[in-house]
Amino acid sequence: MREPTVVLAHSFRGWAQELHFFLMDHGGAIVRGYVMSPDDALSEAYDVFMVDDTTSYLNHRLVSSLRGRGVRVIGIYDPLEADGSGKQLLMDLGVDEALPSSTPPPEVLQVIVRLAGPFLDDDPELAGLIEQIGGRRPAVLGAGAPEPPAGSTAGRVIAVAAAAGGAGATEVAIALAGRIRDHGIATALVDADEQAPAIAQRLGIPLHPNVRTAVDVLHHGSGELDAALTRYSAAGLDVLCGLPNPRDWYELRAGEVAEVIVELSRSGRSVVANVGPRVDDLPQLGGPPRFAVTRAAIGLSDAVVLVGTATPVGARRVVDWLADARDLVAGTPVHLVVNHYPGGTFAVGELEAELRRTLTPRSVTVAPHDKRVLRAAWNGEPVAKGPFLRAMTKLAATVAPGGGVGG
């Protein structure tokens, strides 16, 4: 089932923009746009109309017409008015709900969902999203959420992150998506790395369409979402490319990218999202916002694959990343990939045992150094069968039950 759709009357008060940004960042409802006339308000189908008591064209006839079409009307008034005339006007006009302009966005969203209909009863994912607005899942690393049963891979979102740049998360994401697709499950590979997007360049496919195209489709109805995907025939994958220049990510809101990922998963695809290595939230520390796309993608994922390197420094960076992302991955299974393992005297079994003891991830996959990976990167093709691909087959079987194949 879809999320409720909302149309906003243009307002000089701050509630409209605040609500719009909140819904873009957190989801729960979709703002279809702003209107400036009654004709615009009546021109398309949607679920909820929100309007100020001072809007010039607001009258009983408009409210009746909207309600006759099945649209619910929420009126907004100034709570500082001593005589309460604004609220009374709205009630006299027959709106479904009158809210003060100071109502926090989470509470407004609850009213929208209640008025719009039984979306939550039919959409557990949306229900969970609304539930999370007021709180977090239990803060337990990789231990709070059971793996889904076999055969339920389609529709899942798997985030693949590197503990630091150069760990090989992009190669892991591409190979993991390919292993899931080889099992007959439609799979979308999304480049949500706002720091160093590289999937299009790695696969030798065009930079357009890309994430911006997909956002425009969802927010402006400019075509079909599938048209924003590029088919990578060599692996049978649908690829959503990142932005050509990392600086352009600042023009997109994290909530917009999150909506795209969720919509792709609702189409029945398994979604593998390659995200950036940094997750620190500087606004909480008084700094400028950044890395919000990565945090949003990780926050909505069903599983997180963290890629580190088989060195002491690589292990230290894995520990640091898990500390920074603790709130983001609370209750979400975290699967650790130790990449570029050189072999040698330290046995793989001992390495896995130490990592499990120290970090308690849901699983550990050791990916040996494999010259086929570098060769594939130069040629813009999938990695050939060998030690690396066997490790990714193991990872796919663990992260996405039913998605592992032989190889």
Domain that residue 124 falls in: 5-133
Tell me, yes or no, whether 243 and 354 share the same domain: yes
DSSP-derived pairing of the beta strands 48-52 and 5-9: parallel
Tell me, yes or no, whether 357 and 220 share the same domain: yes
Q: Is residue 143 part of a domain?
A: no
pLDDT at site 87: 93
Count structural domains, the chain.
2
Q: Is residue 205 part of a domain?
A: yes
**Tens of pLDDT, residues 223-234:** 889 999 999 999
| CATH number of 225's domain | 3.40.50.300
**Tens of pLDDT, residues 358-400:** 677 889 999 999 999 999 999 989 999 999 999 999 999 998 7
The residues, ordered by sequence, that sit 6+ positions from 122 with a Cβ below 8 Å of its Cβ are 1
* Alpha-carbon distances of 351 from 18, 195, 358, rounded to whole Å: 49, 30, 11
Q: Does residue 66 or residue 125 have the better pLDDT?
A: 66
DSSP-derived pairing of the beta strands 230-232 and 237-240: antiparallel
Tell me, yes or no, whether 125 and 176 share the same domain: no
Say whether pLDDT at 31 is over 90.
Answer: no
Tell me, yes or no, whether 43 and 183 share the same domain: no
Work out the pLDDT band at 130, boundaries 50, 70, 90: very low
Q: Is residue 407 part of a domain?
A: no
Q: Is residue 289 part of a domain?
A: yes
Q: Is residue 404 part of a domain?
A: no
Query: 3-state class of 238 per DSSP?
Result: strand
Tell me, yes or no, whether 245 and 304 share the same domain: yes
**Mean pLDDT in the chain?**
83
Q: Is residue 152 part of a domain?
A: no
Buried/exposed code over 115-129 (b: 16+ C-beta within 10 A; e: otherwise): bbeebbeebeebeeb
pLDDT at site 316: 85
Average pLDDT of the segment spanning 326-345 = 84
